[in-house]
Amino acid sequence: MYVHENTHYPLLATRQAQGTPDGAKWYDDLKPYLVSKWTNDLFHCPNFKWEPYDGRDHGEFFYVSIGSYGYNVGSAGPDDAYQFGLAGKFAPQAKMTSIATRESEVKIPADMIATGDAYSTWSTKADQIVMGLEMLARKLHNLDDFSAISVETKVVSQRHQSKLNVAFCDGHAESIKIRELLLDYDPRFLRRWHTDNEPHRELFRP
């Protein structure tokens, strides 16, 4: 509904402004449609055992929110800028911009991840997964500045019977094997993270 009305996807975050003194996050943009805050039950999975944290604008940077679910930012490139995600365009060193991802940029909505269980692949270790970030990514950037929890694959497998729940841009949802979603370099799985539906294997190191 948000995309249909605005022709673009919500930004991961926006800066301080009149009416939003602490800035805003992607889930704030969805409030008119959901009437729910980040710390409410709607955004809290019963299997997520940690306390959610609503990160806010502190002038020079945003604190990353922690919780059950994440929003697809795409994949980090060599300069640590996220590419081909829904959450807007990023500059080097994972810095956010105010340039949103247009609805028309998503080539195949039925094969483009929108949101899902908050697990992302840690870019410096092929078998390491980060849990709890609002940034859902096939490849997180290398800066070690997260207040999230790094876990091994076997710990992740204890949730949802070794699968992760994911919602796609066309509105359907799937329960996907952890290895396919986060660790497999097969183009069939990589392309689901990217707006142009291309695997962009150049961004990954097998």
Q: Which of 48-57, 99-108, 135-144, 152-161 has the lowest mean pLDDT?
A: 152-161
If phi > 0 it is left, if psi is from -120 to 50 it is alpha, else beta; for residue 5 that is: alpha
Q: Is the pLDDT of residue 107 over 60?
A: yes
Label each residue of 3-57 as H, E or C. Answer: HHHHCECCCCEECCECCECCCEEHHHHCHHHHCCCCCCHHHCCCCCCCCCECCCE
Domain count, the chain: 1
Report the percentage of the chain scoring pLDDT > 90.
Answer: 54
Q: Is the pLDDT of residue 60 over 80?
A: no
State the pLDDT at residue 41.
81
Q: Which of 7-21, 24-38, 170-184 has the lowest mean pLDDT?
A: 7-21
Contact 112, 192 (CB under 8 A): yes
Q: Which uninterrupted H or E stretch holds 164?
A: strand 163-168
* 1-18 mean pLDDT: 90
State the pLDDT at residue 152.
64
Q: Is the pLDDT of residue 144 over 70?
A: no
Q: Is the pLDDT of residue 131 over 90?
A: no
**pTM score of the predicted model:** 0.91
Domain span at 20: 2-203
* 128-157 mean pLDDT: 77
State the pLDDT at residue 172.
97
* 81-106 mean pLDDT: 95
- Averaged confidence pLDDT in the chain: 88
* 119-139 mean pLDDT: 85
Highest mean pLDDT pick, 48-52, 60-64, 200-204: 200-204
Structure tokens given for 36: 């729910």
